[in-house]
Amino acid sequence: MTTTIGNEKEDILKAAELLKNGELVAFPTETVYGLGGNALDPDAAKKIYAVKGRPSDNPLIVHLYAWEEVYAVADPTPQAKALYDAFCPGPLTMILKKLPVVPDETTGGRATVALRFPSHPVARELLRLAGIPIAAPSANVSKHVSPTSAAHVFSDLNGKIPLILEGGDSEVGIESTIVDLTGEEPTVLRPGAITAEEIKAVLGSADYYHGEIKEALAPGMKYKHYSPKVPCYLVKRENLQNACASLKEQGVNAVVIATDEAAKDITTAVISLGKTAKDAQHRIYGALRESEKYDAAIIEDLSDKKEYFAAMDRIKKATGGNVL
């Protein structure tokens, strides 16, 4: 299969037709690039899992254009509408009870469905033209670093899908916040740009999930994710230079991934995470992919800074618990 990249109106029209015919396409969102298929077609969902090499019990997020479309796929709640009004279109996914029309293949066999309303103009135009809900996880090989550019998608999925829509670099840079609205209290299952505190300000209550992860309640929870093709190590800021020296003695050419404040003290190769938590979210996946030019990556541990919570969620999964 030949994979093409396009950014013209005709390409979006072609992508919409491909989706309606049961095929897959990759498209940009404000969070990361998505690998889309018809959310109501079980065969399309199976194709998504096959192309990614993704476990089939890991639910897919269903992307919609407008609130009115929720009624066709889920049982909406006043809480969901309040969050929609506050944050959508935007980087928020809400878990609701699904309707029978949504196949188990899309939801990983669960009785719930994850719904999101992307804000990226290309994603919105694709949804409008296709006229169907689009199931879309990140457009990368499972467990690899999520893609924030069309080039990243092409690197992972060239020859596996017919079309990638170009939409520039993803603005947010990490996946959406996922909040479960099916329990007694709103629970954030995956952190993102929208915090539990912001959700609580709208709903009156909300907290992050603190339980043991035994099953994939939502995308990004159960399995190792976001990993580059080289070993990654989590290191406290004061130990970054020593960690580099230690690996160098072992013949390992490592790169440091760190904030600008920490990077100023490093004398070896550095990939910047910028000055702020928002910068870190925007840059982390590009940094992890860039680290594949080296033998290993040493990543600054920012766990003591609350504002970096979402970025650290991705970093901890990328390192797989490796600490130096």
**Per the domain annotation, does 249 fall within a domain?**
yes
Residues 202 and 312 in one domain: no
Domain end call among 175, 208, 241: 208
Residues 162 and 246 in one domain: no
Domain end call among 193, 208, 223: 208
The number of angstroms, rounded, from the C-alpha of 251 to the middle of its chain's C-alpha atoms is 34
Domain range enclosing 81: 4-208
CA distance 237 to 299: 9
Residues 65 and 169 in one domain: yes
Number of Cβ within a 10 Å radius of residue 195: 18
Residues 13 and 155 in one domain: yes
Q: How many domains, in total, are found in the chain?
A: 2
**Per the domain annotation, does 221 fall within a domain?**
no
Residues 185 and 300 in one domain: no
Report the CATH number that the domain containing residue 300 is assigned in CATH. Answer: 3.40.50.11030
Q: Are 121 and 112 in contact (CB under 8 A)?
A: no
Angle at 1 between CA 130 and CA 20, to 5 degrees: 15
In 3D space, the residue among 10, 286, 253, 324 whose CA is nearest the CA of residue 148 turns out to be: 286
Q: What is the pLDDT along the chain (324 residues), one digit of tens a residue?
A: 899 999 999 999 999 999 999 999 999 999 999 999 999 999 999 999 999 998 878 899 999 999 999 999 999 999 999 999 999 999 999 999 999 999 999 999 999 999 999 999 999 999 999 999 999 999 999 889 999 999 999 999 999 999 999 999 999 999 999 999 999 999 999 999 999 999 999 999 999 987 665 555 666 555 556 789 999 999 999 999 999 999 999 999 999 999 999 999 898 899 999 999 999 999 999 999 999 999 999 999 999 999 999 999 999 999 988 888
**pLDDT on residue 104:** 97
**Per the domain annotation, does 214 fall within a domain?**
no
296, containing H or E segment:
strand 296-300
In 3D space, the residue among 114, 121, 107, 166 whose CA is nearest the CA of residue 139 turns out to be: 166
**pLDDT on residue 152:** 98
Residues 50 and 102 in one domain: yes
**Per the domain annotation, does 222 fall within a domain?**
no
Residues 54 and 201 in one domain: yes
In 184-295, which ranges are continuous DSSP H helix?
196-203, 240-249, 260-263, 277-290
Residues 149 and 254 in one domain: no
**Per the domain annotation, does 224 fall within a domain?**
no
In 3D space, the residue among 229, 257, 261 whose CA is nearest the CA of residue 243 turns out to be: 257
In 3D space, the residue among 50, 62, 55, 54 whose CA is nearest the CA of residue 103 turns out to be: 62
**Per the domain annotation, does 119 fall within a domain?**
yes
**pLDDT on residue 222:** 53
Residues 173 and 246 in one domain: no
**Per the domain annotation, does 121 fall within a domain?**
yes
Number of Cβ within a 10 Å radius of residue 284: 28
**Per the domain annotation, does 120 fall within a domain?**
yes
Residues 90 and 153 in one domain: yes
Domain end call among 140, 174, 208: 208
Residues 82 and 186 in one domain: yes
Report the CATH number that the domain containing residue 49 is assigned in CATH. Answer: 3.90.870.10
Residues 24 and 111 in one domain: yes
CA distance 16 to 13: 5
**pLDDT on residue 262:** 94
Number of Cβ within a 10 Å radius of residue 76: 17
